[in-house]
Amino acid sequence: MKKVILLTLVFVALTGMGLSAQKAPLAYILPAGDKVVVVLGDTPRSVMSFDVYRKASGEKEFKLLTEKPVVPVKDPYKAVELMGSDFHWIAKRIGSEDPGYLYNRLKVDRNTTLALCLISHGLRMAMGRTYIDSNVSRGKSYSYRVVLLNILGKEIKRVEKTVRVEDSPKPPKPSELKAVAGDGNIKLSWKYPPYRGGEKDLAVGFILYRKDGEGKYRRITEAPILRIEGWLSYVDERVKNGVFYTYAIEAINMIGAKSEKVYSEAVKPVDKKPPLVPSGIKAVDSKDGVLLLWKISPEVDADHYNVYRGDSVKGKFERINKKPIPADSPRFLDKEAVRGVVHYYRVSAVDKSGNESAMSGPASIIPKDTEPPPPVEGLSGDVENEKRYVSLSWKALGNPDLSGYFIYRGESKDRMMRITEKPLKPSGSPAYLDAGYKKRGLRPGIPLWYAVTGVDNSGNEGDRVYIQVMIPDNVPPPPPFYLTAKPTDEGNVLLTWQPCLSRDLDKHFVYRRGGTGGGTGGSAAGAGGSSGTGGSATTASGAGSSSGAGDSSTNSGSSAKGKKGFVKIKELDKKVTEWVDETVSKGVEYRYFVTEVDTSGNESKPSREVKVIPTDIVPPKPPAGLKARVEKWGIRLTWEASPDKDVKGYLIYRIPPKGERWKQITKKPLKELEFFDRWAKPGSRYGVTAIDTSGNESRKVTVTAEKEKKESKGGAAK
């Protein structure tokens, strides 16, 4: 578990509340036997390096001991080398053994690094937070000056102190070391005086030792446990149940001095966890009774099994094995089971410590007989026409060991499938509702056979009793696919589509909207045509004919599925996949859709709606009787209308006197049968053409406006 460590002006990491009243110095100057150790303490973040000066007794000036300021090493591999054996447990704390990654993390995570520096001299060396003066004499006193420098090498603060070279005092020993045994673990806790601050309290952590039985004490903590007030505990999970363990603990300061050991009482972890519940229990009927089988326990310390029997799942279960069942023999024969009566069995496992598991799930059985129930009587079936549900009912069987009833269904007696996974529970008025897959109803338009049998507690099944019902067809087929409409060269409309895949498809209905008269009588197209060839069903009937011959099913003025304005114009055989509508007018927009009809008369939803404007490629006949009359203010042209019905207007062309090329002088087709040219001169030549709704243009009829004010007869263009 990760704990947030607050490094205050103290050696130790404190959680929760900080001891703000206890101040730690900027640098610790500590004697350590035959040397003096300088360790940075609570320094500002701006401190990047430091210098150490020393003055012996009788000397007037401080002498610089550090050739260069003490700084962190740059090479991560050099840092690992300085960490020494501490590298392994530091790597575990950081979560990586990659030198580069680990050293960068230590540089970034200041709090973690300062906490680990308390207990690792090698890490302090790598991070540039310590200096060792070995050129001293034991028993003499020296004055030291530590100068803290910023990134520019300028002094920020300094610390001065005189120390006597001698052994570092031992830290106080811990007290009240307690060991509490659990199941596969031992929890240790101890007490230690609160941190006092300054250089008087240098303890930074604790080292734990363990003795197995009568063996020797061995260290069990690779790194010292940090002195974190409120968290003086440790859980040892590398123990075995049933073995006595004794523990010892000692405090250690940052110089490495250790306190006296404190010992705990011997404790023994005990197995309190019950084994796994046995699984796979089965009850098998045999001639000698009920044979119970289950899977062997995977527990290493499994000792034996117990078997329990009851007369209901929620009732009381009593142990029936008089002797423990060995762990390697997962089977038991109940010779006292009563046949024809339901029994429930459960099994538990017991380990060598006497822990018993919970009982397994029940396995039920009725020791069976060989006599099946009699056939059911009074079987009847009713069909709900709209939903296509079938309700079955029959007289109840009076067998005391009746388990229930099985229901079968099929399209013939010799091919039936059981549709009840388990027997229907017995009741005074047995019945069954067959609603089909996911209650969507049964397949329409087919006869179905049903059969009902009785089954007893021993699994004996009686003879089948049959009944047949007819499922009504009230489901329309799906609509056709990919309906398209396009004009033909003759100016008719060609419809093509892909029929649906319904097995009982019977015919197609074609609906149309558009044109004059709302489409009434439009079914004449295709009259007399073959509807079973799969090709065009066109005839030679004239355009616009409304006779309706040959299509007795056409219902003038009717519409399908609420499609306003649409009229059914044609009924086609199911094999037809395209049809030509010859009753359309060119240049008028029409809309179509097609529906499918099955053999029961159910009509599908409309296909997608398509629209088309019929066009042709045949130019209209030209106008006749073109005349040109020269008047006072211009020339007036008159002509007779083209005989074609799809003409939408006329275009006027002119060649001026002595000109050679025709020039169109009307931007849009004229609907009138005359034109007055104010800008023409006598002697101009004129041409007039007819334009139909498909954009086809007729040949020109021409006339010359003579200088004499006489009408000239029209002639064909050259």
C-alpha closest to that of 87 among 115, 129, 126: 126
Q: Cα separation of 30 and 171, whole Å?
A: 14
Which domains does the chain show, CATH number per domain? 27-164 (2.60.40.10), 175-263 (2.60.40.10), 282-365 (2.60.40.10), 380-457 (2.60.40), 481-612 (2.60.40.10), 624-716 (2.60.40.10)
Q: Cα separation of 53 and 147, whole Å?
A: 8
Other beta carbons within 10 angstroms of residue 359's beta carbon come to 19
Which has the higher per-residue pLDDT, 710 or 631? 631
DSSP letters for 543-568: TT----TT-TT--TT--STT-TT-EE
167, pLDDT greater than 60 = yes
State pLDDT tens for residues 172-210.
999 999 999 988 899 999 999 988 777 778 888 999 999
Q: What is the mean pLDDT of residues 297-311?
A: 92
Q: Identify whether the C-beta of residue 411 lies closer than 8 Å to the C-beta of residue 449.
A: yes
Q: In DSSP terms, which residues pair with 409 in a beta bridge?
A: 417, 450
C-alpha closest to that of 488 among 640, 344, 638, 617: 617
Banded pLDDT at 325 (limits 50, 70, 90): very high
What is the token pair recorded at 702? 């021409």
Q: What is the residue whose two structure tokens read 């399209």?
A: 411
Q: String of b and e for 640-650 (b: at least 16 CB within 10 Å)?
A: eebebebbbeb
Backbone angles phi, psi at 88, to 5 degrees: -65, -50
512, pLDDT greater than 90 = yes
User: Dihedral sign, CA of 638, 644, 649, 653?
Assistant: negative
Q: What is the mean pLDDT of residues 227-242?
A: 90
User: For the ranges 110-119, 268-277, 665-674, 683-692, which has the lowest average pLDDT?
Assistant: 110-119
Stated as kind and residue range, the H or E segment containing 123 is helix 121-126
Q: What's the 3-state SS for 337-387?
A: CCCCCCEEEEEEEEECCCCECCCCCCEEECCCCCCCCCCCCCCEEEEECCC
In the prediction, which pLDDT does 381 show?
93
C-alpha closest to that of 389 among 338, 319, 440: 440
637, pLDDT greater than 50 = yes
State pLDDT tens for residues 573-621.
999 999 999 999 888 899 999 999 998 899 999 999 999 999 888 899 9
Q: What is the residue whose two structure tokens read 């090329």?
A: 661
DSSP class of residue 187 equals: E
DSSP letters for 399-426: -TTEEEEEEEEEEETTEEEE--SSPBPP
Q: Cα separation of 665 and 652, whole Å?
A: 6
Q: What angle do CA 496, 604, 560 make, to 5 degrees?
A: 85
Q: What is the residue whose two structure tokens read 């007289």?
A: 395
